């Protein structure tokens, strides 16, 4: 192993992923190093402050960034308030973490007015959320501008818990993401939660047969039925990773492998030969390297996703307040 490879390997073991200074879409790491040197540290301290009060906000921030990027690209359009804004669309129900972005933006406007975009704050906050949850850290390419369109009608491109793999594949491919990216990004469910409402049908009336989804592990089925009774509260929260819901690790993939996936869309990844191979890779237990592959691949997939249809240069605007256009 050459010296450069050895250094990179050591940094990877320590949880830092090295990427080139320049990235896709005209973004680059350290974009604010001169114009607002404290930008990234302010976002980090803000996320950390909210995370320390409520660790579940980490998954909320990650989901917020994902939903932003899948509609109109990563341009902060999900943050806009309004009756017909993107955030009001049904697939965006339950999104949270807006207050964290607003908090960071307020501090940054006081320090560097009109410089740091809401879209970049969201991308940085998602990275910090993963890091604080015990996952990898990485250099986030920045330089996004904030979009000036936010429409609930355009949110149909978002993946849903009911999507079979071919539908998931098509939705990801339309954004330039392949099967490897798909499975890797869904791995973010290692720290997520959902409501009983979104998977209850799998427990009692799968495809209107009156039976449970046969892909659910039987022991786990009994546990889920106890947590989410047939006529129970559909808003009850359930961890998407039954083993370590606050730790960013590979147990989510082991759960999918063992029939313990919560959402149908997650469990279906095991039924498709292409996505199954990727799940198997991440769930593997090579002694001494457990989880290392996912820790390396997740940042790469995040950088790729966070470059979707970005606005840069003099395009669009830098919002003063993240919830409204200038």
164 is in an annotated binding site: no
**310 close to 73: Cβ distance less than 8 angstroms:** yes
Q: Convert 294-318 to b/e letters by CB count within 10 Å (16 or more is b).
A: bbebbbebbbbbbbbebbbeeebbb
181 is in an annotated binding site: no
For 280, residues 6+ apart whose C-beta sits below 8 A from its C-beta are 257
71 is in an annotated binding site: yes
54 is in an annotated binding site: no
Number of residues in the chain: 326
189 is in an annotated binding site: yes
Query: Catalytic: 67?
Result: yes
**74 close to 306: Cβ distance less than 8 angstroms:** yes
DSSP state of 138: E
68 is in an annotated binding site: yes
56 is in an annotated binding site: no
- Which segments within the chain are labelled E, that is strand? 16-17, 137-138, 193-195, 237-239
d(CA 91, CA 153): 11
DSSP state of 320: S
Residue 62: per-residue pLDDT? 98
Residue 210: per-residue pLDDT? 83
Residue 196: per-residue pLDDT? 95
DSSP string covering 210-271: SS--TTS-HHHHHHHHHHS-TTS-TT-EEESSSS-TTS-SSHHHHHHHTT--SSHHHHGGGT
Residue 134: per-residue pLDDT? 96
Residue 33: per-residue pLDDT? 97
Residue 14: per-residue pLDDT? 44
Beta strands at 193-195 and 137-138: parallel, antiparallel or unpaired: unpaired
Q: Which of 50, 65, 67, 180 is catalytic?
A: 67
241 is in an annotated binding site: yes
**58 close to 130: Cβ distance less than 8 angstroms:** yes
116 is in an annotated binding site: no
13 is in an annotated binding site: no
Under-70 pLDDT residues of the chain: 1-25, 285-292
């Amino acid at each position: 192993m050459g010296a450069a490879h050895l250094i990179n390997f050591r940094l990877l073991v320590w949880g830092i992923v090295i990427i080139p200074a320049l990235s896709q879409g005209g973004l680059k790491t350290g974009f604010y190093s001169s114009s607002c040197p404290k930008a990234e540290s302010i976002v980090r301290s803000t996320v950390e402050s909210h995370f320390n009060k409520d660790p579940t906000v980490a998954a909320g921030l990650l989901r917020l960034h994902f939903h932003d990027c899948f509609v109109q690209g990563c341009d902060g359009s999900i943050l806009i308030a309004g009756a017909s804004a993107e955030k009001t669309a049904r697939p965006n129900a339950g999104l949270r973490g807006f207050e964290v972005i607003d908090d960071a933006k307020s501090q940054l406007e006081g320090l560097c007015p009109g410089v740091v975009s809401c879209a970049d704050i969201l991308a940085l906050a998602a990275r910090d959320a993963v890091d604080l949850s015990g996952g990898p850290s990485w250099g986030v390419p920045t330089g996004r501008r904030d979009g000036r369109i936010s429409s609930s009608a355009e949110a149909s491109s978002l993946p849903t818990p009911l999507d079979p793999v071919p539908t998931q594949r098509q939705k990801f491919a339309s954004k330039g993401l392949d099967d490897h990216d798909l499975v890797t990004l869904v791995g973010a469910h290692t720290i997520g939660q959902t409501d009983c409402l979104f998977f209850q049908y799998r427990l009692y009336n799968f495809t209107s047969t009156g039976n449970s989804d046969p892909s659910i592990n039987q022991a786990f089925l009994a546990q889920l039925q106890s947590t989410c009774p047939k006529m129970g509260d559909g808003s009850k929260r359930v961890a998407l990773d039954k083993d370590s819901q606050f730790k960013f690790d590979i147990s989510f993939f082991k759960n999918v492998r063992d029939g313990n996936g919560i959402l149908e869309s997650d469990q279906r990844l095991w039924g498709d030969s292409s996505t199954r191979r990727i799940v198997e890779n991440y769930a593997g237990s090579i002694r001494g390297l457990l989880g290392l592959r996912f820790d390396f691949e997740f940042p790469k997939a995040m950088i790729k996703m966070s470059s979707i249809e970005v606005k840069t240069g003099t395009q669009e605007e830098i919002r003063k307040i993240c919830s409204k256009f200038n």
